[in-house]
Amino acid sequence: MKILRSISEFHQWRQNQVKPIHFVPTMGALHEGHRSLLMRAKSDHEANPEQGLVVLSIFVNPTQFNDPNDLKNYPSTWDADVEMAQAAGVDVLFAPQFSDIYPDQYRYFISENHWSQILCGATRPGHFNGVLTVVMKLMQIVQPKKAYFGEKDYQQLMLVQQMISAFFMNIEIVGVPTVRESSGLALSSRNTRLSPEGRDKARWIYYHLKNSKTTNEASEKLLQLGFQIDYLEEHWGRRFAAVFIEGVRLIDNVAI
Ligand code: AMP
C-alpha cells in the first residue's frame, strides 16, 4: 500500500494508472463501518479482475465542523488506520494537508440550498457546504469511477449523489448499509468519546428509532432516558435522529 501525503504525489501516481479507481473518503479513526466501505470497494474490483484500484483518503476536514471543540476532540488513530487499510487491501492511502486542499483558504465553496437546510444542516450551519466542497475537491483530485459512502450519514449520501448529478460528473456513488454493534448502536468514530455507561445507553437510539410508532413516541422515550434531542424527524421514508449524550452528538437513521 502506498501512502501519499500531497496532491502532487497523488497526481504523479495517478497519471500512470489506467485502471479505474474505487474511492472511499473518510476522516480517519477507522472502524468496522469504514472497513465495510473498503471491502465493498475491493469486492467491486474483484468482480472484474480487469478493473479497480482502491483509494482511501483520510482528511479531517475543518470546514465541515461548526463546533471548534468537536474538531479539537475528533479522534486520531493513524497507526491503527494504516494497519486496517493495509489489511483491507487498499492500494493507496491519500492523506493530504489543509494547505493542499484549501489553497484558496475556502474562498470558493459548493453550496446547496434545499435539502442541506434540514436535519444536520439546520443545527450545524455550513456543515454541508464544507462536506460537499471537500468531496468535490477530493473527486477532482482522485478522479474515481466509483465512490463509496455510508447510509449512516444518509443526508450526506443523498446530497453527494445529487451534487454529482447536478455537475454532470461521471462517478457512480455507492451507498453502503450502516454497520452496528451487536447492541444496535451505529458505529461512529465519536463513540470512542463516550464512557462505558454512555456507550451502553447509546444503544437505545437505534432501538427507539426502529421500534416507536411515531417520532413523538421515540422523542419521549429518549428524553426520559436523559438524551438531549437535536432533531428527530422523518423524511424520504426514513426516520432520522441526532442526539447528545455526555456532550457527544450522535446521529442515526432507519428505514420506516
Ligand atoms: P467519516 O470518517 O465519519 O467521515 O465517515 C467516512 C465514511 O464512512 C462516510 O461515508 C460514512 O457514512 C461512513 N460510515 C461511518 N460510520 C459508518 C457505519 N457505522 N456504517 C457504514 N458506514 C459508515
pLDDT(51) > 70: no
> Is the shortest distance between the CB of 191 and ligand 1 below 6 Å?
no
pLDDT at 52: 82
Per-residue model confidence (pLDDT) at position 26 = 98
pLDDT tens digits, 20-37: 999 999 999 999 999 999
pLDDT at site 47: 60
Average pLDDT over the chain reads 96
**Best substitution site from 35, 37, 120, 164 to test ligand 1's pocket, by max atoms within 8 Å of Cβ?**
37
How much helix, strand and coil, in percent to the nearest 5, is found in the chain? 45, 20, 35
pLDDT tens digits, 154-201: 999 999 999 999 999 999 999 999 999 999 999 999 999 999 999 999
Least Cα distance to 230 among 245, 215, 243 occurs for 243
End-to-end CA distance of the chain: 41
Other CB atoms within a 10 A radius of the CB of residue 164 amount to: 18
Residue 134 has pLDDT above 90, yes or no: yes
Residue pair 27/189 in contact by the 8 Å Cβ criterion: yes
Q: Is the CB of 150 within 6 Å of ligand 1?
A: yes
- Cα gap 87→93, rounded to integer Å: 12
> 187 CB under 6 A from ligand 1?
yes
Residues identified as active-site: 34
Task: Identify the H or E element spanning 187.
Answer: none
Closest approach atom of ligand 1 to CA 25: 6
Check if the beta carbon of residue 227 is closer than 8 Å to that of residue 243: yes
Q: Is 252 in the pocket of ligand 1 (CB under 6 A)?
A: no
pTM of the entire predicted model: 0.97
In tens, the pLDDT along 206-218 reads 999 999 999 999 9
**Which residues contact residue 232 at a Cβ distance below 8 angstroms, ignoring those fewer than 6 apart?**
209, 215, 218, 219, 222, 239, 240, 241, 243
Query: In the predicted model, is pLDDT for residue 48 greater than 90?
Result: no
In the block, which residue shows the cell 452528538? Answer: 249
Backbone angles phi, psi at 210, to 5 degrees: -80, -40
| Ligand 1 closest atom vs CA 29 | 2
Q: Calculate how far, in angstroms, residue 188's C-alpha sits from the geometric centre of ligand 1.
A: 7
Q: What is the pLDDT of residue 190?
A: 94
CB atoms within 10 A of CB 65: 18
Structure confidence at residue 62 (pLDDT): 97
Instruction: Calculate how far, in angstroms, residue 173's C-alpha sits from the geometric centre of ligand 1.
Output: 14
Residue 92: pLDDT above 80?
yes
**What is the reported pLDDT for 44?**
86
**What is the rounded distance in angstroms from the CA atom of residue 182 to the CA atom of residue 63?**
33
Provide the edge-to-edge strand list for the sheet that holds 248-255: 228-235, 238-245, 248-255
